[in-house]
Amino acid sequence: MTKVYLPVILGVLLLWGILEGVVYFYQEREHSVPVATMELSENMISDKRVFTQVKSTKELAEKFKNFNRLSVPRIYIENFPDDFSWNADPALFVKTLLPYILYENEQLEAERKKLFNISTKIFNNQELTEQEKLFFNALVTKYEVFEVGPVSQAHELLQRVDKVSPSLAMAQALDTTQGGKINLDGPFGIYKWNKEGLYDRERYATLDEAVKEYVSQLNKAESYYRWRLLRTIHRPTKYSLPGRVFLKGLAPYEPDNPNYIERIRDVYNKYLLDNLDFSKFEEEKNNV
């Protein structure tokens, strides 16, 4: 009789163990996921931008008629109008994208400030609060940091979480789009593997998405490692974003194209992009 019921007993015990494991997994998931999500949402910077749609290049030009590179208006055009490629205007192309780059730099600056405070505590072997731990770990994930240990992770994050060079962004975008004539749905020439297994150019629904992805690539892609290293070296100087100085850091970006850096340098010269690195948003007027 013992031989007959032994397999049944073992089967029941096995099933009970599996069920208990499943219940435990979902209980843990139920308690842990909302906490992480809540912490991430608390640390996100409020986005109060208004995105504008324009129907023509003429209407777009009207939006930026009083444009000043050193006092940039907070105008966010959702997409280039359909006729832009026919009436390609490189200057208007830069005016349209620049507010997005400056906005992302604002977010990076705020993110870096919080990271710097946390990193200082890590380097001094001080205990982090639970919120600081969650924020730090979220950055490790966001910027794809694979170093082991908080000290190494903090050093790597401080190299990645930083502002990008507006002049470089515009130079690469102007190069990719041939001055605004092509590829307006993916102006930075980012390629990824698609569902068909092909390495294809990414296309974006909005300019906001395209700029966010470009900035993300600059701060975490392996091909921009040397560029980030130069940015770190020059950060203590008052010219912390000199696009020209950073150009030699682009060598790994197109390793099979030895002329790429020279091509980007030509774009700098053609469109006089250097002073974009000193661009700032215009001061908001207080309504009295």
Query: Residues near 57 by Cβ (< 8 Å), separated by ≥ 6?
Result: 81, 83, 84, 87, 89, 92
State the Cα angle at 87 between 266 and 259, rounded to 5°: 20
pLDDT of residue 26: 35
**Residue 147 contacts residue 175 (beta carbons within 8 Å):** no
Q: How confident is the model at residue 21 (pLDDT cuts 50, 70, 90)?
A: very low
Q: How confident is the model at residue 13 (pLDDT cuts 50, 70, 90)?
A: very low
pLDDT of residue 11: 52
CA distance 269 to 284: 32
Q: Which tokens hold the place of 126?
A: 């001080």
For 87-96, 212-221, 224-233, 237-246, which range has the lowest pLDDT when averaged over its residues? 237-246
Query: Topology of 51-108+163-278 in CATH?
Result: Lysozyme (1.10.530)
Give the type of residue at 6: L
Q: How confident is the model at residue 2 (pLDDT cuts 50, 70, 90)?
A: very low
CA distance 223 to 192: 14
pLDDT of residue 197: 78
pLDDT of residue 83: 96
Segment 74-117, tens digit of pLDDT: 999 999 999 999 998 999 999 999 999 999 999 999 999 999 99
Region 49-54 average pLDDT: 95
**Residue 70 contacts residue 275 (beta carbons within 8 Å):** yes
pLDDT of residue 27: 36
Mean pLDDT is highest, among 109-118, 250-259, 269-278, for 109-118
The more confidently predicted of residues 164 and 253 is 164
pLDDT surpassing 50 at residue 60: yes
**Residue 219 contacts residue 160 (beta carbons within 8 Å):** yes
Query: In the predicted model, what is the mean pLDDT of the chain?
Result: 83
Model's pTM, two decimal places? 0.81
Domain boundaries of the chain, sorted by first residue? 51-108+163-278
Region 152-162 average pLDDT: 96
Closest alpha carbon to 227 in 207, 252, 197, 262: 252
Q: How confident is the model at residue 200 (pLDDT cuts 50, 70, 90)?
A: confident
High-pLDDT (> 90) share of the chain, %: 61
